[in-house]
Structure formats: C-alpha cells, structure tokens
Amino acid sequence: MLSTVNTQKITGDHGMGKLLNYSQQANGIEGTTTHASFQITIYTAHIFRIHITAQQEPNTNPYSVITQPTDIDFKVEENDEQVIISTSELVLQIDKASTRLSFLTTDGKTINEDDTFGTSWIGEQVTTYKKLQEGERFIGLGEKTGPLDRRGHGYQHWNTDYFGYPEDADPLYCSTPFYIGIHNQLSYGIFLDNSHKTHFNFGASNRRFSSFSADSGDMDYYFIHHEEVKDIISSYSHLTGRMELPPLWSIGYQQCRYSYYPDKEVLNIAQNFRDREIPADVIVLDIHYMDNYKIFSWDKEKFANPQQMLQKLRDMGFHVVVMCDPGIKIEEGYPSYEEAKDKDLFLKYPDGSLYEGQVWPGWCHFPDFTKEETRVWWKEQFAAYTDLEIDGFWNDMNEIATWGQKLPDLIRFHFEGEESTARKGRNIYGFLMAKSTFEGSKSLLNNKRPFVLTRAGFSGIQRYAAVWTGDNTASDEHMMLGARLVNSMGLTGIPFAGYDVGGFVGNASEKLFARWIQIGAFSPFFRGHSNINTRDAEPWAFGEEVEEISRNYIKLRYRLIPYIYSLFYEATQSGVPLSRSLAIDYTHDSKIYEQNYQNQYLFGPALLVAPVESTKDFTKIYFPEGDWYHFFSDELTQGAQEKIIECPFDVLPLFVKASSIIPMAQTVKNNTNTLGDTMELHVYYGENSNSFEYYEDDGETYNYQDENYCLRKIHFSPKRIEISKQTGKYLSKFSTIKLCLHGFKDQSFIVNGKEIKANEEEYRFIEPVSNFDPIYTEPNTVPEIKALKSIEFTNTTEAISIQWSK
C-alpha cells in the first residue's frame, strides 16, 4: 500500500518538494517528500510505474491494468544528489532536492526527464512536466484528430458524443491516455492511468515542456522504454491486456444503416448481396428494431417474428449485430427497468435518488457498471438475444450520451464499494459497458465467440471490443482522417478499429464511396453505414460502375482473409495492430510525418496503403526504405523516394514490400465460410530474409485454447522458402497450396528435394498466372495480381522446403 503524507490539504500551486525518505520494496521503492508520497514499481526491465499522491487515500483506476509486477533484478543506489534505480534496460534518477525524475538508457543517454516544475498541483489538478528534447515528436493518444506528429498540439480525454464532428474536434468518444515520444534515435511510452478528465500538451503555446495532467486523483503513470515502437506497444498491451481472437465472420464486410426496417427490408438487403455476388457476413440492426427504443425488446409490428427473420438470415449465411444502448426507459411494467430498479443497479445522485437523462427511449436511468451486481444482471438480460442465436452486439451512446450533453459531475458511481463521482466514472463507463457485454454474452453463447463493437472506451478496451470512430461525415477530409484515427488507435493498443465507410452524416458522391470502400477494405473493422434521411449507401446504390468497384475490393478483402486473420492472431500475442502507422516500422524517417504522407500506413507487415482523395487521379507517394512491388502489376519501385502515381478512382495505390509473404484465398463466394479449398501463398522476391506466421482455426469457437489450431511459420530467404511443420491439431480448410512467386527470375525449383517439371501429378507447374478479378475500368487497362510462376501442391501438416537456382 502506498504510504501517505500527514499534511493539511494545500490549495495553492506546489510541487513535490524535497525527498524526505524512502525504503526499498520487493519491486521498487516507496517514500515521502515535503508535499507528497510516492511509489515506484518495476513491472519489467522495460516498465516502471510512477505513482504519486498528495491525498490521504490513494485514488487510482482499478480497471485498465491487469498485469502484476514480475520478479526482476534491479539495483538501488544513492549519492549526495540522487537515488538511482536501474534494471538491465532502464535507469531512473531521482533528484533529492526536488524529487524530479530522469529516465536514461543504460549507457547514459537521456530518454525523458522532468522539467523544473516536475510533478505539481494546482488545487486538485495534478500535472507532470517534461523537458522538450531536441527534435522530439509525439504519436499516439488513440482517437484524436490532428496530425500524426502531435508536437505543438494539445488534447484532452473526456468521452464525448460528437455528431458530425469537424476535422479538428477534441475530445471524441474514446479515451486512451497513452502516447509515444521519439527523439535522437530513442523511443519511449507514457500511459497516464487516471480516468478523470486528462490533458496532454506537447509543446502547445510553449517551447519549453510537454505535460500531462488529471483534473483530480493521483499522478499514476507507466514509463516504457524499448528501442522499437512496436515493442513499446507490446509492453503497453502487456499492462492493459490484449484482444481475444474475434469470430472470423466479424472481419468480413458488415452492412449497416440507421435504420433497416421492417424485417422485409432487412431480408431484401441481405438477398441483394447474394444476388449481386457481393460477399458480406453481417447485417446490423440499429435502434428501430426495438419496441420504442427499449433495449432487450423487439418492435412487434416492424419485427413481428424476429426468430423467423434471424433464421432466414442464417440460412443466407449472415450474422446479425444488434444495437445495445445503455439507457433503460423509465416505464412501469418494462421488465429491465423494474428489475434493475428493484436491485438498486442504476446511477444515483448524492441524495440517493436515481439519475434521469433523456435519450432515444425518452427519460432513462443508466446501469452503474462499476458495480459487480450490475454486470451480473446485464449478463442475464442478454439471454434475450443469445437465446435467438444473436452473437454480435453494438454498444452505442455509452459516453454517456444524453440530450443536452451535460452529464452532471455529481452523479455517484459505486466503484466496487469505493464510491466516486462522474468526474472519475465518465471516461470508464463505455469501457465497463463493453466489458459487461462481452463477458456476459460470452458466458451465454456455449463456446461461441461474441463480437462486441463500442463507440466509447478507455485504455484496455481492446480486451472486450472493437472500436469505431463514431458519427463521421461523408467527405474526403473525413475519409483521410479516418485512416489516421485508426492508425492512432493502433498505436494505443487497439488492433480492431474502423470507421463508417462512405460517411455517416451527409451524402457521399459516387467517386467518394468508391474510393472509401477501397480504403475500408484495408481497415481492421470493415463496415458500411449511413444516417437516416440520407441517400441509400449500399455498394449497389451508386450505379453499376461503383457497384463493380465495390464488388472487386470487397472480394479482395475476402481473398486476404487468411492474411488478415493471421494478423489478428499476431495482435492477440503481441498487441501489434493490423493497421500500422509508418511510425512503427520507420520511426526515425522524417518524411513519414509530413502532411502529404502521414495518412499512409502498412496493413500488416506486407501491404503499403496510400489513401488518396476521390478527387485525385494522380498522387505523390513516399516509399520508405526497401523495395516495393505494385500490388496489381508487380512493377518494382525502390524505396526512400517520393513518386507520383496514377490513381484513377477505381484503383487504390497499393504496394507490397519485397521479401513479403501473403497467404490468400483463391476464390470467394458469399462470406468468410466460402473461401474455397486452395490457398495461394504469394511470395515477393527480395534481398532480405523474412518470416510470416500463418494461423487458422475454426473461426467460431474457443476450441483453439485446447490446441485446435493450425500454426505454421513461413520463412523466405533469397535462396529458399520453408514452411514449417504444423503446430496444433486443427486440419486446415485449404487442401491445396498454390505458391505464387513474384519478382523471381528464370530459376528452376526443387520442392522437398524433388525438381519440379511441368505436368507432373504431384506438383503442377503453371505459368503465367493471374489471380485477381478485373477491376472495372477501360478495356486493355485492367490491373491484376500477376505472378511469374505458380507451383501447386497438396497441403499437409509436414514441413515443406522450396529451393531454386538460376
């Protein structure tokens, strides 16, 4: 337990003061200063927790960090001026005179250091000030508008319902107070674990310091240092948890509108996808499926027989995701209202009366998810959905959103018996609603994985839900902003993120929708969505040309499912996101932070995506270090250069890094369960060795936790390709592997010691090969995926080695 200082509350401006005393503990030290007490805990050799309080009782967030400190070797040393704590990877110096902190590498380079002000208070507000280092950049903070490099900008975390938000809006719906600092070939991360309203200043209106502060509570932050940004993200997700494997169907295309009704319209939308041969896995039901917007109910006129409708959708190969808002209508006889009221589960005012807020159903009470009994009750309510075999849930309006946008600060939250107010509870509300939805539905689904989508959240939300960027607008600016938002969420540990393709507010033009669906195909969460009283926004609603473009890019998304699902597996193991800001792999390349290139990103380790506005037929792209193949033509471009690329509105600029390995399905019909029995393994020749972990399981259950999975490491070197022996007991759905080779010269090939000859029964040698349906464009200008050579062979669980020579 963190010790406290027996002093009267100081209401003025003050810092920590002098270090008075300290003692060594099992995982660090704790001590007191003139005006505060502190505890420094070593979680790993790379992670230090700094917990500082000026209060009699520490005030912390019990929900985000789920990891305990590990036993780690560390040293505590002291001289006249400093106390020094060191591990094998990190050194912390504490100045005795001021209790200011400095973090250094083991060879003495300054990573991060307090400014003269250190950690200090103005009334309740606590702030830590950090010296701005030469050339320092800042990335991350999750769902924040603005540039990739946040230097010179300031932000706050306060979950807010912001309909049709402008490009520079702040704050938005989801709070993840974690950022990464970069300077002088060094990188570090800071996670401020405080759910009160927090503020981050990266040299905005000053050129002396960066700072982070909380309006109340303790200064409680984690300092992380690695050489690589991806390892900082991994350490952050080690603290706050990693996502579970999603159901395979949830990474297919999802179609939504506010709202599809009645049931005949829902079935008509689904049938259109099948008749038009556009793959899709999900139809989403917004609030109009409910009886007067009451959660856990069905409109008896618009959806007279939901069980029958749901069965018809299942027969067509669709899953259904239903909207779940937190507001419980105040209505006598409404079972959910009566039960929660009787069990004392709603948020209250200080006088014990229930808080009332107005939202879609009218006047509502709101469940207090900081109370265990509420979470148990919420789980029980979800039987109304799971009994109908619904396994997808959309948590919306959970900032909390109410008409008027002024949730009173004095509302009381239970906080597991440590009662507090909405000042502490607001930012955590959506997180706990998603936790309750995920854990509750999971317990009811008989070994099936649920899918949960949320608008609001807090650090650690990745454990329970995918996150989308709320009520965006139908504009080129929001399309480009969406890419940055998703990449920024990836930098803060949220791998499963996306945006409303086509824009929710307003009407997309034909070209805008076509471009957006191309980019959306390379987003972890892929959903088309549009607002009430706007034009229809299904892939076929914009004319035949756009329909054909949409069909081809949605099909391409599905063909990439073996690659994408493997990336989700990687995210469960390391926390590294699917959509990767170039700052992850090219951290110290100044070009990637320029306005012209900050929207570019890697989708997984192989694919370079260059989002471009619908108004452009040419765009300038920056190719980072390395060699890059054009995805559709195999044209090779050397990296570390800018280049103007033609990009008519039916072709997305898309490139593959040399030495990459991309597993793909050969065909796709209706959904993620119709990907055929042949896997194409696309390998792009390069001068560097590379590896890819291919992962597969049944995509639906938790049987993978009992080794029912297929995991194989695929290794490329300039002399051979090796596919490891399978780990796990799951038999792959792909009975045949077609090895598609890009950029290879006229070599001869030897598979498992046997030279390949044309027309042999065991190995079939095919040349040339084209592997992509034509994109809709003018005759004779059709981009394709091209491979010089293709080798097809039976898929077994045994190791495979392919060698070649000129």
Alpha-carbon span 213 to 196, nearest angstrom: 10
DSSP state of 247: P
Cα distances from 56 to residues 20, 34, 35, 90, 100, in angstroms, run 17, 14, 11, 31, 22
Backbone angles phi, psi at 417, to 5 degrees: 95, -15
Contact 479, 611 (CB under 8 A): yes
766 CB-near residues (< 8 Å, 6+ apart): 789, 790, 791, 792
Angle in degrees, CA 281, 472, 537, rounded to 5: 45
Q: Give the residue carrying structure tokens 């400014």.
A: 115
588 CB-near residues (< 8 Å, 6+ apart): 182, 185
172 CB-near residues (< 8 Å, 6+ apart): 143, 144, 145, 160, 162, 165, 469, 470
Count Cβ atoms below 10 Å from residue 300 Cβ, excluding itself. Answer: 10
DSSP state of 204: T
Angle in degrees, CA 332, 335, 337, rounded to 5: 65
Question: For residue 95, what are its two tokens?
Answer: 């100045």
399 is catalytic: yes
Contact 163, 433 (CB under 8 A): no
At 460 the three-state DSSP class reads: coil
> Looking at 30, 215, 399, 500, which residue is catalytic?
399
Contact 177, 417 (CB under 8 A): no
Contact 137, 183 (CB under 8 A): yes
Helix extents (H) in 83-152: none
356 is catalytic: no
Contact 396, 323 (CB under 8 A): yes
Backbone angles phi, psi at 96, to 5 degrees: -65, -35
Q: Give the residue carrying structure tokens 């002000």.
A: 117
> Looking at 471, 547, 548, 696, which residue is catalytic?
471
> Looking at 218, 220, 396, 680, which residue is catalytic?
396
Angle in degrees, CA 718, 723, 729, rounded to 5: 165
Alpha-carbon span 429 to 413, nearest angstrom: 10
471 is catalytic: yes
Cα distances from 374 to residues 325, 431, 432, 529, 720, in angstroms, run 15, 14, 10, 31, 57
Catalytic residues: 396, 399, 471
